[in-house]
Structure 1
Amino acid sequence: MVGEYNNREQDLKTIYQEFINEFNHIYGVMGILKQFIYLWDENIWESLFNVYVKWKNPFNIPDPPLTIPVSLLLAQAIRNGIQPRELIDDYQDSNVYLVDYETFHNLHIFLEKLYSLHLGRELVEDDLWALHKSDLPERVLGGLEVFDIFKGNLFLGDDFFQQIKSVIWDEEALIFCKKLQNLLITFLFENKNGNETIFSQELEKVVVLLAHCSAVSSDSQYIIIGNVVRAYNALFKIINTDITHLVNKKYYTGFLICKDCNEFYPLLENESPHDFSHCSCGGGLEYLSSENSNNSNNNQIFKGD
């Protein structure tokens, strides 16, 4: 076992040194690697991967059936000719480094899992409405690493989708992106099985979409290495940001119930479950959507700091 560990450690050192020797001259590369290590040290990578392992696709939960909101971003993509594969007669599996409807849809899945990570629980129907009726996807695509202060719905128009379809990769940027992704995933996983592969592929698709968006924001038809660097900076910023305050709170119309004293509190307008830390009795809180709650008692709940 010690020999196997030493061999893997040596392999990681080798692949890391090869990457550094080839790309150390590129501005921002060391910053990306430092951010990656920070997320590692804070156990954020492990926590996010655990969400993937336990993930239950909200679209496939039959009991009770969930009413999933229509994403305005996906609707806008369709309107601009970016169609789901089932609507394309001659559809062929596209290269992962190209952008299609599934790339945009993958971003929503990624944000759902990230939202679940920050909530510390599985998503319920109100969570999906609050997330998908927010402008978070538009913030991410339009603002990239400044998404948390960007108002996406003011800037993403039809021209954005038309431009993103015409963006192509510079060959050096494509090589850099593939090698950087391989380096990071190799450090994350010793072996890549089902969950590890899904995790890797979904992150890669998000990076590809962000790189395309970076090129569009630069008014360029080509993705260059600088766009890839910006895409990874944006990805790590998104993962490291508590996105719970960026959702649309008005869709939380249910109740908080204390697990200890069973007191109910109906959420008011512009309140969300994660605004509250505990009941006044010190008990933990559980959120129930309005259709699952028949009683309320507007007391006993303390709002968190």
Structure 2
Amino acid sequence: MKKVKTWMKILDIAFDFKDRVNASLGRETSAEWNKRMLKEHFEYLMSLNLQGLHEVLDEIRDIWKSGLYEGFMSSFEERKIISRPLTFKELANNKLATLATANLPVTSLKTISLSKTDLNVFRSMRPLIETTYYLNSGCPFSWDDSLNIAFSGLDARLLSALDRFDQVEEVPELTAEFFQKLGKTQIFDKKTSDFYLTITRLLVDIENEIFGMRFRDFNSDYVPTEGLFIQLLAGCNAVHHNREHIIEEDIVKAYKTFFKLMKTNVTQYKAIHELVQDMDENNPDYSSVLICKSCGDYYKLELDESVDDFESCHCGGELKYLHYEDNE
């Protein structure tokens, strides 16, 4: 069960009290306000003349009313691994991640303020692929699942083919030049930024309708992760069209890709044998690791470090200590 931070509990109490006061005075409650915002955001977006946008809005209604969006967000919260995490040495076999790390700008206040497609934006892809995988498998990730997620080439298919990723037979070879161009893409003009924020707010409205209006009711990491993933896909579409500035059509294409991913049984994508044949679950290249039970991040303990040196993950999640005998 998700732990609720103290400041969240305090704000929930304050909002509950405010709602009771407003209800007693015949004023709009937070739930009523959310319904009004949801209606206004839908109507505004429907009024825009953007190719493919109405199709995206229909998809949003579909995944909401069908329960798929709720299942997806719940899977983001619930996904866990039961095997050991992949080591940094093993992850180096993922050429895409290696190229991204070498060529995308490191996340900083500057890249964030300029809405650059930086390394943090790229790293939003893995948790959402994991979420889609868990949505379809319904089970904590085994060793084979972890290999499939990291080494099937689904990530390369998404970045190269976007909403046609399921039609790509051979894993595309992305280059350092592609990532150098991707790192220059950004949401530059106000019109595109406002459009991007409006769809984001619409989906937040829907999340509030599903889970409620309180901090205790949803995972605070989900919305920013989804938003970064949309920016990543939009940046890729801009690169494919030889642009540095992300425009509204790129955002539309990104959402089409995201919703197709959500509806696809990605467990069909299996790890490429040549990349994983030398990997052994029982023989990692380190002996001790801390793994977060909430977000799945992990940290290799150095020789002079102890589990007692760490209270919690950066996301606030509980850390699990795993120890493996050194077989070297």
User: Structure 2-normalised TM-score?
Assistant: 0.65
Which whole-Å CA distance do the structure 2 matches of 1:193 and 1:76 have between them? 37
Which whole-Å CA distance do the structure 1 matches of 2:267 and 2:165 have between them? 14
Shift of residue 185 of structure 1? 1.6
Question: Structure 2: any 5+ residue segments left out of the alignment?
Answer: 1-19, 281-328
Does the CA-based 8 Å contact 2:76-2:127 persist in structure 1? no
Please, which of 215, 220, 232 is the counterpart of residue 197 of structure 1? 220
Q: Which one-letter code corresponds to 1:193 in the other structure? A: F
- When residues 29 and 139 of structure 1 are mapped into structure 2, their CA distance, relative to the original with a 3 A threshold, is same
Please, which of 224, 236, 243 is the counterpart of residue 220 of structure 1? 243
Please, which of 190, 194, 217 is the counterpart of residue 175 of structure 1? 194
Please, which of 92, 95, 99 is the counterpart of residue 112 of structure 2? 95
Which whole-Å CA distance do the structure 2 matches of 1:193 and 1:226 have between them? 32
Shift of residue 193 of structure 1? 2.4
Q: Report the secondary structure of 1:229's partner residue.
A: helix
Report whether the alignment pairs 1:122 with 2:145: no
Which whole-Å CA distance do the structure 2 matches of 1:163 and 1:151 have between them? 25
Does the CA-based 8 Å contact 1:136-1:247 persist in structure 2? no
Give me the identity figure in percent.
20
Shift of residue 28 of structure 1? 1.6
- When residues 72 and 236 of structure 1 are mapped into structure 2, their CA distance, relative to the original with a 3 A threshold, is same
Which whole-Å CA distance do the structure 2 matches of 1:53 and 1:39 have between them? 18
Please, which of 190, 196, 207 is the counterpart of residue 188 of structure 1? 207
Question: Structure 1: any 5+ residue segments left out of the alignment?
Answer: 86-90, 255-305
Aligned alpha-carbon RMSD (Å): 2.9
The match for 1:236 is 259
Shift of residue 54 of structure 1? 2.2
Aligned positions of 1:243-262 closer than 5 A: 243-248=266-271, 250=273
Shift of residue 51 of structure 1? 1.4
Which whole-Å CA distance do the structure 2 matches of 1:185 and 1:142 have between them? 28
Moved more, 149-158 or 233-242: 149-158
Shift of residue 52 of structure 1? 2.2
Please, which of 53, 60, 81 is the counterpart of residue 77 of structure 2? 53
- When residues 42 and 10 of structure 1 are mapped into structure 2, their CA distance, relative to the original with a 3 A threshold, is same
Please, which of 26, 47, 51 is the counterpart of residue 27 of structure 1? 51
Which whole-Å CA distance do the structure 2 matches of 1:53 and 1:154 have between them? 31
How far does the alpha carbon of each residue in 1:33-81 deviate from its partner, in whole angstroms, 9 at most, with x for none?
101111122211111111122234x4xx7xx643344032111112325
Q: Report the secondary structure of 1:174's partner residue.
A: helix
Which whole-Å CA distance do the structure 2 matches of 1:186 and 1:7 have between them? 10
The match for 1:275 is none
Shift of residue 7 of structure 1? 5.2
**How many residues matched?**
241
- When residues 176 and 81 of structure 1 are mapped into structure 2, their CA distance, relative to the original with a 3 A threshold, is closer
Does the CA-based 8 Å contact 2:117-2:186 persist in structure 1? no
Report whether the alignment pairs 1:38 with 2:52: no
Q: Report the secondary structure of 1:197's partner residue.
A: coil
Q: Which one-letter code corresponds to 2:199 in the other structure? A: L
Which whole-Å CA distance do the structure 1 matches of 2:43 and 2:177 have between them? 42
How far does the alpha carbon of each residue in 1:77-128 deviate from its partner, in whole angstroms, 9 at most, with x for none?
1232545x6xxxxx44742842222222220121112111111111122211
Shift of residue 214 of structure 1? 0.4
Q: Which has the higher contact order (CA 8 A, sep 6+)?
A: 2
Which whole-Å CA distance do the structure 1 matches of 2:214 and 2:174 have between them? 36
Shift of residue 9 of structure 1? 3.1
